[in-house]
Amino acid sequence: MTAPIATEDALDGSALRQVFAAASAHLRACAKDVDAINVYPVPDGDTGSNMSATLREAIERALALDGPPAVAVVLSTIARGALYGARGNSGVILSQALRGFAAGVGERDRLDGHALADGLVDAAARAYRAVSDPQEGTMLTVLRAAGEGARQAAEALPEGGRGTGCARVLGSAVVAAERAEAATIEQLPALREAGVTDAGGEGVCVILRGLLAAITGAPVAGHLKPADRPIVHSAGHGGDGFGFCTEFLIEADGRALDLESIRGLAEAGGNRSVVVVGDPDLVRVHVHSLAPQALLDAAEAVGRLARVKVEDMSAQNARFREGGSGAGVKVALLAMSRGDGFDEIFESLGATVSDLGVIEKPPAGQIADTADSLRVADVVVLANHKNVLLAAEQAKALARCTIHVVPTTSLPQGIAAAMAFDSEDSPTANIEAMAAAADAVMTIEVTIAGATRTSDGVSVKKGEAIVLLNGKLAGTGTTPGEALLEGLRQAGLRRGNLVTIFAGEGAPEHDRLSIADRVRQHHAGVEVESLPGGQPLYPYIASVE
C-alpha cells in the first residue's frame, strides 16, 4: 500500500499529474501480461507495450510542465503528448480517449467526481469516433462501460458529485470496466477461441486500477487470465498476409489538414484497421496496409510526415510464436561506427551501424536517411565523434522519424551508451541512462602524428606515436604501445578499474594480447580486456571505466 494522494478531496493539477504518473507506471509493469493475451484484430502481442509507451510519453510531457499546473493544462498536455507518442491501434485509440477526457473535464479548477464522470463519458465517445469501423468486445466497449459506471455513481452523490473526491466515482468505473472486459470473451469469436479477454480492454482496466490505487493508496487489485491455448493461429488469423502496421504523423505545412480527406486516403486500396485522428494542425494515422510505401507517398503530398513506423506484422507474429511476445522494437538505436570489431560490438548490443567515415564524416542527410530506413518512430543516434554531433542534430529536421541524439564523442563512449539502451523504454529514459553511462567512460586514442607541432602544451614530431586522453593531446611514445601506456598512466588508473583495449586495423592477435599483458604488469589490480576493433588510423583505442 502506498500513501493516498487524495482519497476524499478533489484533485488539483499537481495531484492529477501524480495520479496519472502512477497509473502509467502500473501499466508499464503490466504491459507484458497484457501483450500475452493480445489476439484481436491481429495476434501481434504488443497491445500492452503500445499502450504503455503511448501513456509514458504523454506523462513525460506533463511532468516537464513548470510550476503548479492547472487541471486543464495537465490534461491537454497529456492528450497532446499521447497523440505524438501513440503506438499501434490501441495507442492511437488511447490517445483519443485521453483527448476526450480532457475535453469532458474542460477548464475546471479541480477534478471532482462530477468532472471525472464527464471526462470518462467523453473519453469513450471520442474513442468511438476515432475508429472507422468500431467493434464491440474491444477496448471501446470497456471505455464506454467505465464512463457509464462513473456517470451512475456521480448521479447518486449529492449535487452529482460536484466538490467530492474522485475515489467513489472512479471505483464504480473500475467495476463497470472489469465487468465489460470479462464479457468481451463472448463478444468476439477470436477471443472466445483463444480463451482470453480483449487486450486493449484489459489495458484500460489496468490504467483505471492504477489511477484508483494512486488516489486511495490501496493495493492494485485485479490480475490477468492467461490464454487457455496458443493464440497465434486463431480463426481468421493465418500465418501469412498480415501486411504492414503503418503509422505516421502529418504536420500541417502551410495549409490546414482535412481529416476526412486523409481518412479517405488511408482507407483506399483495401487498407484495414484504419484510425485517423487529430486536428487541422496535426493528424495521426494508423493503418494495416499491404502497400505502405504507396500510402506514405500519397500522404506526403498532404503535409510533412513525421514519426513514421512501418512494421511487418507477419514477422511480428513469428516473433510471438517463437518468444511469447510479438512486441516489436519501440525505440531503435543507430550507431556511427568505424572498424569491423566495433561494428560487431554495436550490432551485438542491438544497434544498427552506419559508417562513421575515416576522414570525411557522414552528412546530416545520410544520418536522417539511415534513421528513416529503420521504420521506427523514435531513433536514438550515437554520434561517437565530436565532428558528427552537429550533423546528427541537423538530421532531426530532415528525418521523418524522431531522432534523439546521445552526445557521445568516441567509440568507447558509444559502446558504454549502447549497453545502457533499452528498446522497450521511452526515448527520454534512454537518453538519460545512456548519457550517464557515456560520461562514466574515459577514452584513450593512440595514433601517429601527421605533422610536427605543439598542441595542448605537448610538442610532437611528424611520425611519432601520440596519445589523446578524452580528445586532448596527452603525450607521446616511441611506439604505439608506449603511447598507450602513457595515456593510461595519465588516466590515473585505480584498483578495480576496467580497461578495454581495441586493437586497430590489421593488428596481429599476438600484439593485441601482448599489450594487454603489459598493462596488467604496470597496473596491478586493474582488469584488462583486449578486443579487435579494426579501426583505421588508430593502432589502439582504449576505454577506462
Dihedrals φ, ψ of 518, to 5°?
-65, -40
Closest C-alpha to 453, from 464, 445, 461: 461
Domains and CATH numbers, the chain: 13-216 (1.25.40.340), 244-323 (3.30.70), 331-439 (3.40.50.10170), 442-544 (3.30.1180)
Instruction: Name the grid cell of 347.
Output: 550490432
CA atoms within 13 A on the CB side of 7: 7
In angstroms, rounded to a whole number, what is the distance separating the alpha carbons of residues 145 and 136? 11
Q: State residue 67's pLDDT score.
A: 84
In angstroms, rounded to a whole number, what is the distance separating the alpha carbons of residues 476 and 468? 9
Is residue 219 within 8 Å of residue 10, measured between CB atoms? no
Q: State residue 320's pLDDT score.
A: 47
CA atoms within 13 A on the CB side of 276: 20
In angstroms, rounded to a whole number, what is the distance separating the alpha carbons of residues 184 and 198? 6
Is residue 471 within 8 Å of residue 386, measured between CB atoms? yes
Closest C-alpha to 149, from 93, 189, 208: 208
In angstroms, rounded to a whole number, what is the distance separating the alpha carbons of residues 341 and 241? 38
What residues pair up with 277 in beta bridges, in sequence order?
A: 284
With residues binned 3-state (H G I as helix, E B as strand, rest as coil), the percentages for the chain, rounded to 5, are 50, 20, 35
* DSSP-derived pairing of the beta strands 352-355 and 331-337: parallel
Q: State residue 230's pLDDT score.
A: 39
For 205, left (φ over 0), alpha (ψ -120 to 50), or beta? alpha
Q: State residue 313's pLDDT score.
A: 65
Is residue 354 within 8 Å of residue 336, measured between CB atoms? yes
525 DSSP assignment: T
In 3-state terms, what secondary structure has residue 455? strand
Is residue 480 within 8 Å of residue 465, measured between CB atoms? yes
In 3-state terms, what secondary structure has residue 544? strand
Which run of H or of E encompasses 331? Answer: strand 331-337
* The residue type at 476: T
Q: State residue 335's pLDDT score.
A: 94
In angstroms, rounded to a whole number, what is the distance separating the alpha carbons of residues 40 and 256? 34
pLDDT digit string (tens) for the chain, length 545 residues: 466 776 678 999 999 999 999 999 999 888 888 887 776 444 445 788 888 888 998 999 999 998 899 999 999 999 998 888 787 778 888 999 999 999 999 999 999 999 999 999 999 999 998 877 788 999 999 999 999 999 999 999 999 999 999 999 999 999 999 999 999 988 888 777 777 888 899 999 999 999 999 999 887 765 555 544 433 333 333 333 457 888 889 999 888 999 889 998 988 888 887 888 888 999 998 888 888 888 999 999 999 998 888 877 655 555 444 444 444 457 899 999 999 999 999 988 889 999 887 666 788 888 988 998 888 888 999 999 888 888 888 888 888 888 999 999 999 999 999 999 988 788 888 999 999 999 999 999 998 888 788 877 888 888 899 999 998 889 999 999 999 999 999 998 888 889 999 998 887 888 878 888 988 888 888 888 888 899 988 999 999 99
In angstroms, rounded to a whole number, what is the distance separating the alpha carbons of residues 229 and 169? 36
269 DSSP assignment: G
